[in-house]
Amino acid sequence: MAHNFDSNVSFGNDNPGFAGNFRALRHPLVVLSHIGFRGFAIFIYVFANVFFSSFIQQFLVILFLLSADFWTVKNVTGRLLVGLRWWNFVDAEGHNHWKFESSKDPTRFDPFERSIFWLALVTAPAFWVLLVCLAFVTFNWTWMVVALMGAAMTGANLYGYLRCRWSSTDEFTNYFTRWAFFSMLTRSNQAQQNPVPQGPLITA
């Protein structure tokens, strides 16, 4: 219903912490599915030999979790948690088209849920890229292919939602350029305001 999106959730003034904030979520099951599928896929990848003796079983379970995560994030969690949606289609001439949509009023969505959404969206591809690198340096080519599949599927959703957030690559590049510049400027100012104390000079 509309009021689920428009009403603001009050977390109180007593700093309830993560557990209290989680109980106050508007869409707790959506948030759990957003984190759960991708987190469990990485967990099974790392501990697959503990639960399954066959590589085929391991591969199928990870593929199912990645597919469930891809569909859920693409079609459900992005729309409900941050008001973003993307999809692509092929026209009659065989050309692939990407469509990116964003809510006209992003303030309707809960800031805590938005933070969880973006954190999980960015963290999962980073983990899969790390697993790809680990499989590469250990010459485990079979599992590197599985990790590449995870990186590709989670990375596709990351790319789609970044394009929803920034309508063009120029806007995306300009945003992070400004962010990097102001971050360096802030650190420089902090360093000037809090210089490292020098030890006493030792003279002969």
Within 8 A by CB and 6+ apart from 196, the residues are none
Q: Which long-range contacts (CB under 8 A, 24 or more apart) does 94-102 make?
A: 98/160, 98/163, 100/160, 100/163, 100/164, 100/167, 101/164, 102/164, 102/165
Q: How far is CA 99 from the centre of its chain?
A: 20
What's the pLDDT score for residue 11?
A: 31
Tokens of 82: 């941050």
What's the pLDDT score for residue 109?
A: 84
* Sequential pLDDT tens for the chain (204 residues): 333 433 343 333 344 444 555 567 778 888 999 999 999 999 999 998 888 889 999 999 999 999 999 999 999 998 889 888 888 878 778 777 778 888 887 778 888 888 999 999 999 999 999 999 999 999 999 999 999 999 999 999 999 999 888 764 555 555 445 545 555 666 666 666 666 555 554 544
Within 8 A by CB and 6+ apart from 72, the residues are 33, 34, 37
pTM, 2 dp: 0.69
What's the pLDDT score for residue 128?
A: 96
**94 Rama class: left (phi>0) / alpha (psi -120 to 50) / beta:** left
Residue 40, phi then psi, degrees to nearest 5: -70, -35
What's the pLDDT score for residue 53?
A: 85
